[in-house]
Amino acid sequence: MNVGSEDAKPDVAEAMAGLRSRFIDSLVDRILHMEDLTSELRRTGDYTTALYGISASAHRIAGVAGTLGFGALGSNARKLEEAITDGLAQYEPRETFLRMRTQLEALLDSLEAVLETAP
């Protein structure tokens, strides 16, 4: 007996819409955080701290974006996270940063694209 199962579907859809809306609302802060880390890196030369911070941000985005319907954003976030992880395993932090800048720009562009198309 599935009493109430039809009623649960709108609740799930409403919950997902709320999560999606909160995620979109958080994107400006995520962009600013990654830009702040990059600026701090340029000011201090602390590549390691910046890379780990950017990687953590990318990881959080990648973990949620696809579930909420932002597949390209999630993919770009995952590529950046992997570029940093793989880079740090092979290169010095400065070289890793130089190698991952393209992926960082792609992620920032994807974040901005979601914001531009959000209702």
CB contact at 8 A, 59 and 74: no
Average model confidence (pLDDT) for the chain?
A: 91
pTM for the model: 0.86
Is residue 87's pLDDT more than 90? yes
Whole-number Cα distances in Å, 115 to 5, 23, 88, 101: 34, 10, 31, 21
pLDDT tens, residue by residue, 9-19: 778 889 999 99
Which domains are delineated in the chain? Answer: 14-117 (1.20.120)
**Nearest residue to 27 via CA among 119, 116, 117, 111:** 111
**Nearest residue to 74 via CA among 83, 85, 82, 62:** 62
